[in-house]
Amino acid sequence: MGRWKNQFAALGISHLRSHEMMHPDAFDHSTLSVWAQSKKRNDFLFLEDLPKNKAYHGPFVLPSHKLMLDFCKALVKLNRLEDHLWHAHAETLRPSGSGVTVTLKTATGTKAVHAKHVVVARGPTWRRQWPAFYNNLEASGLGEIHHAWDLFDQPEKMEHLKGRGVIIGGGLTSAHLCNQLAGRGHIDLLLRRDRRVKQYDLALDWMGYKRWDHRREFEQASIEQRARINKRARDGGSISPELNSVLTDLEAKGQVSVHEWLEVETACYHGAGWTLVLSSGEVMEADYLICATGALVDVATDPLLAGLQEAHPLKMKNGLPVLTENLQWGRLPVYLMGNLAALHLGPDAVNMTGAARGALRIWSALSGCEGCEVS
């Protein structure tokens, strides 16, 4: 939640992309709206332009980021979660007897903790995906290039970004960055394909009345078919219609240029700025370079999970493990959530709905209720 708060501060985001029924309380979809009403809060955005037809019946309401933060604080307080929080970096997982030994790096050193069960729920922003040219950068370039998530961890870095900028990426983050930085100098936004505009990061029919048909199809599909379904439903980065209107205005003012089907082939940092050679053969100069290129998901090269795969190998598909129905790593007492469990949770694995579904599946195993029905 700390990184999430920094992200919204760095990008100046006023409202979530997700609607009011997507939130961390797994017990009832209406909890956020009921809580807001009890606190006399009405900081919601109503989506007037979203089609109101047979395919999608709503919700049409987006909570403000401040409302969501306050709601999450209330959940933490209600469930006394602060009493159970450790600040540490998990470095390795090693099966040990009937449990797992977790090596933790803390502010005071390293220690090992023996756990009966381990749930890996890191979220999608823990490991960066870089474009191919990144691997050929010299040391000077590696020290100057920014991944968008670096700016979330240290929002103060945004203050130093001035002059002409190049931003790489076709998702919501890249568009927000354009909006935040356009007033400080011209920005070139590079997309490796065409601009995709849609209300949510999933196809709308996954949010509408057909969602149960899609879920049934996904649950009955083979692992190979599930991988294809995930790719088709998410379809890479996209921006919302509301943010696309902002981006279009910036283009009209000459503050932002959007380049579709264009990639950086090579990049060189030379002290005063960047020289980029593009796939079109064009050479572009920039004062700063930001990659808003998302997450890398590959268990085989994952520092935390690679050891488990070596000792207790699972079948893999596109870097993702094939888990049990309850998201367990074979017979080991290790459970995965988020994008690592996408072959079982579906294309919304990294969304609030996927998180709730994953939590319920893992709960059924840890509570000894493995035969319980989980929606």
Per-residue pLDDT of the chain (375 residues; tens, 9 = 90+): 777 888 888 888 888 888 888 888 877 888 999 999 999 999 998 877 666 666 666 667 889 999 999 999 999 999 898 888 888 899 999 998 889 999 999 989 999 999 999 999 987 667 889 999 999 999 999 999 999 988 887 878 888 899 999 999 999 999 999 999 999 999 999 999 999 998 877 777 787 778 888 889 999 999 999 999 998 888 788 898 889 999 999 999 999 999 999 999 999 999 889 999 999 999 999 999 999 998 888 888 888 998 889 889 999 999 999 999 999 999 999 999 999 999 999 998 888 888 888 999 999 899 875 544 443
Model pLDDT, residue 373:
45
Report the pLDDT value the prediction gives residue 57, as an integer from 0 to 100: 65
Q: What is the DSSP string of 47-83?
A: -TTS--BTTB----EEEBHHHHHHHHHHHHHHTTGGG
| Cα separation, 23 vs 71, whole angstroms | 9
Contacts of 37 (CB under 8 A, 6+ apart): none
Could you tell me the CA-to-CA distances from 276 to 61, 192, 289 in Å, in that order? 42, 15, 10
**DSSP 3-state of 218:** helix
Structure tokens at 263: 């990639």
The whole-number pLDDT of residue 35 equals: 94
Half-sphere exposure of 291 (CA within 13 A, CB side): 19
Q: Dihedral through CA 32, CA 34, CA 36, CA 39, nearest 10?
A: -140
Calpha distance 350→354 (Å, rounded): 6
Give buried/exposed letters for 65-75 (b at 16+ CB in 10 A, else e): bebbebbbebe
What is residue 54's predicted lDDT score, i.e. its pLDDT?
Answer: 64
Residue 351, token pair as written in the block: 């969304």
Cα 308 from Cα 266, distance rounded (Å): 36
How far apart CA 86 and CA 89 sit, in angstroms, is 9
Residue-level pLDDT at 344: 96
In this structure, are residues 223 and 317 in contact, taking their beta carbons and an 8 Å threshold? yes
What stretches of the chain show up as alpha helix (H) in DSSP?
Answer: 2-11, 31-38, 65-78, 139-142, 148-153, 172-181, 211-220, 223-234, 241-252, 306-311, 342-345, 352-366
DSSP state of 295: B
Nearest CA-CA partner of 328 in 339, 344, 350: 344
Backbone φ, ψ for residue 151 (5° rounding): -70, -25
pLDDT of residue 307: 85
Non-local (6+) Cβ contacts of 5 within 8 A are: 69
pTM score, whole prediction: 0.86
